[in-house]
Every structure is written in C-alpha cells, then in structure tokens.
Amino acid sequence: MNRASAFGQDQPLSWVDRFGVWLSARQIHRWSGDVRGQRICDVGSGYHARLAHRMVLAGGKATAVDMAVSANLRQIEGLECVEGQLPNVLEGLAAENWDLVLCISVLEHLWEPEVALAHFHRMLVPGGICLINVPSWSGKRFLEYSAFHLGLSPKTEMDDHKMYYDVKDLWPLLVRAGFLPSGIHCFKHKYGLNTFAACRKEGP
C-alpha cells in the first residue's frame, strides 16, 4: 500500500465521498444489526474513524486500524486505535477476537488483498461476520471521471487504486481466505458502482 496518510487525514471529504460513505453505512447496518456488546474491528477506518466511533456510541467496542488515527479518538471509552501499514499491521491483532470485521473501500488499495482477507477470517470468532465494500469495474469509470476531470474526489485516492472488483473477482478471494461458499453473500451495490460482500465464518 503506497500511501503516506489515512483517508481523510490531509483533506476533508468531498460530497461525493460523503454520499458514498452514507450508502455504505446503510448496507453495513443491514448486515451488522444491533452492535451492542459486539467487538468490532474497522480495518482502514480512516483518520477520523467515523464508522467505528458510531458503533461505540451504539454500544459496541471497536478497534480502528489505519496508518494514522486522530489523537482525539484515543480519549473515547470503548474505542481502541491501532496504527500501521496494511496488511502487515493485522499480524498483531488477535485471532478469534472480533464479532464483526469491517473493510470498507480499502481492499482496492492493497497489493496483497488475499493476505488481508486471510487475516480477517483468522480474526473473527466462529459465527462472526466480515463486511467488505470495494469499487466495481463499472465504478472505475465514474470514480476516475469524478476525480480526474471534475475534481469532485481526491485524485490521490484514485491513483492509489490497485484493483477493481466485480463479484467474479472478489468471490474466489473470499473462498481462498477460508470463508465457505455457504457463508458468502456477494453482490453489486451502490447502483452497480461497488461490490459488497458479507462473509460469515463457520461456527456453532
């Protein structure tokens, strides 16, 4: 991952980014349900870790993982911050320790997505769920036009993309990571511009 800062660290989110975050949050809530008492790991949380913070306010205990996380968040009870390069930083996170692992608009920035996905499977408790959102190949054209021609999204974020994922691209990676096909729900999302996956680890 060739980047020097976390998402949202160097500049505020554009309205395009905020709309995308809102759409992702709706899908996440659909699959996560009530997070009270759950242990959540938000991988690639962004500098302000807004999603992890909201889940703490909803009664969960969250760990925000990114290259950098705002120091202000360290004062919030129930929110842990872990800083480091992805996917290497995941090696220090405990196995079978989280009920919910989030990876929202992050996998496309990684040279070795399969390494991160294998860690997600390892980190989940049996019966836990991993939620993943990635831009699709249809979304590539929209995202690049928005960033490179209209200036509505950060150009640096698009230049950092390593891959785009349709269902046929993401599904095999999820199986190789250890998730069983019966536990994988992978589908188009955000008007076809993104692909979403909800992967439940086999358990009791």
User: pLDDT tens digits, residue range 162-197?
Assistant: 999 999 999 999 999 999 999 999 999 988 999 999
Q: Which residues contact 183 (CB under 8 A, 6 or more apart)?
A: 199, 200, 201, 202
pLDDT in tens, 1-52: 456 677 767 777 676 677 777 778 889 999 999 999 999 999 999 999 999 9
Q: What is the pTM of this model?
A: 0.92
Q: Reduced to 3 DSSP states, what percent helix, strand and coil does the chain have, rounded to the nearest 5?
A: 40, 25, 35
pLDDT of residue 1: 44
- Identify the structural domains of the chain with CATH numbers, from first to last: 17-200 (3.40.50.150)
How far apart are the C-alpha atoms of 190 and 5, rounded to whole Å? 26
The token pair at 164 is 């785009």
What is residue 203's predicted lDDT score, i.e. its pLDDT? 87
